[in-house]
Amino acid sequence: MKTILAAYSGVLKGTGSSILSALQDLPAALWPGRSKMEKHLQVISVLQWVFSFLALGAACTVLLIYMFCTDCWLIAAMYTAWLIIDWNTPKRGGRRSSWVRSWTVWTYFRDYFPIRLIKTHNLLPSRNYIFGYHPHGIFCFGAFCNFGTEATGFSKKFPGIKPSLATLAGNFRLPVLRDYLMSGGICPVNKNSIDYLLSRNGTGNAVIIVVGGAAESLDCAPGMNSVTLKNRKGFVRLALQKGSDLVPVYSFGENDAYKQVIFEEGTYWRALQKKLQKLLGFAPCLFHGCGLFFGNSWGIVPYGNPITTIVGEPITVPKIEDPTEETVDLYHAMYVRSLQCLFDKYKTRFGLKESDVLFIR
């Protein structure tokens, strides 16, 4: 009993490796094995992010409204007042926390797949950058782990560069979720926020934009190598206006995290998905992973397939406050070629065949 209490105390006092150390003191009959315990922690770490993204904001909104009808109304009123005062913080660089970005839980998140970040070129802290991230996948696991946390060592690989992953602006209107996202250096993908980071926050900033967005997620499936990019030129125009270099980023394995039912263009269900996408801001995908208790069953747990993110060579971009369409098209074509070359150079190293091609829609 003393051993069990000591282990329980260790769990309360620490996280990550300290949890494992405490649990190792349990009797053999109660101890499931270190590797098995690590796998459980990995699954929990991934699920907490999935459920946070899907439900944390809505759940906290409902809770806040409910608290106004209880004796805790004063707490709800104080938080609401803080929310109003703090409303524009996400547009002004956010409120990142090095402590949150370095949580041990993110190393378990990383190791579940696992996720790796590969650097191909140095980035100068004297410049600002726009990373174009491809593909979107269902939950952008690679983008979040690499740029929203320090689990893969972004700051060590790119010293002097501060990453800001851009996501739906609507997420920053939801209580608690907004603060959770900002603590990881995540910002709204809108003009005000990106303008602040690239114009009024000094140099060494890298804004990561998932270029394909929600539309691209509707077409992702295991083995699918396609990106929505052909008519996505806004990020190139923005780079020209701010004089920020463009950096192509491709994640091999991002589309392998879930299996999705893909509806053909022209069908009723596809049209419904697109209407909901415009209304909600995100694509309502019909997907599944594996079960929580049985790997061969359906569930919300993503498949543990490797995700490798390659950060390509930066494209030097001049500052032009009012670029012409021809100039935008020129740099967009340069970016497309660079992304294509990045994919072709590394595809065979990460499970693809030499004959596999990247489809650009």
| Cβ 93 vs Cβ 172: under 8 Å | no
How far apart are the C-alpha atoms of 8 and 27, rounded to whole Å? 13
Is residue 34 predicted with pLDDT exceeding 80?
no
Q: Is residue 38 domain-resident?
A: yes
117-147: pLDDT as tens digits: 999 999 999 999 999 999 999 999 999 999 9
Instruction: Please tell me the distance from the alpha carbon of residue 181 to that of residue 167, in angstroms, as a whole number.
Output: 9
- Whether residue 17 is contained in a domain is answered as no
Q: Please determine, for residue 1, whether its predicted confidence score (pLDDT) is greater than 60.
A: no
**H helix or E strand, kind and range, residue 250:** strand 245-252
Residues with Cβ within 8 Å of residue 39, at least 6 apart in sequence? none
Residue 162 lies in a domain: yes
Question: Has residue 26 been placed in a domain?
Answer: no
**334 within some domain:** yes
Q: Provide the mean pLDDT of the chain.
A: 89
Query: Domain count of the chain?
Result: 1
- Average of per-residue pLDDT across 302-315: 96
Instruction: Give the side-chain half-sphere CA count within 13 A for 131.
Output: 27
Residue 259 lies in a domain: yes
Where in the sequence is the domain holding 120, given as residue range(s)?
34-360
Q: Six-digit token pair at 39?
A: 């796998």
Residue 298's CATH number? 3.40.1130
Assess whether pLDDT exceeds 70 at residue 275: yes
Are 216 and 314 in contact, with CB atoms under 8 Å apart? no
Residue 22 has pLDDT above 90, yes or no: no
The one-character DSSP state at 53 is I
Partners of residue 115 on adjacent β-strands: 307
- Specify the pLDDT at position 27: 52
Nearest to 170 by CA among 81, 53, 67: 53
What percentage of the chain has pLDDT greater than the value 90? 72
Residue 291 located in a structural domain: yes
Helix or strand or coil: residue 24? coil
Question: Is residue 21 situated within a structural domain?
Answer: no
Output the pLDDT for position 124.
97
CA–CA gap between residue 287 and residue 261 (Å, rounded): 6
Burial 238-252 (b: 16+ CB within 10 A, else e): bbbbbbbbbbbbbbb
Q: Would you place residue 201 in the very low, low, confident or very high pLDDT band (cuts 50, 70, 90)?
A: confident
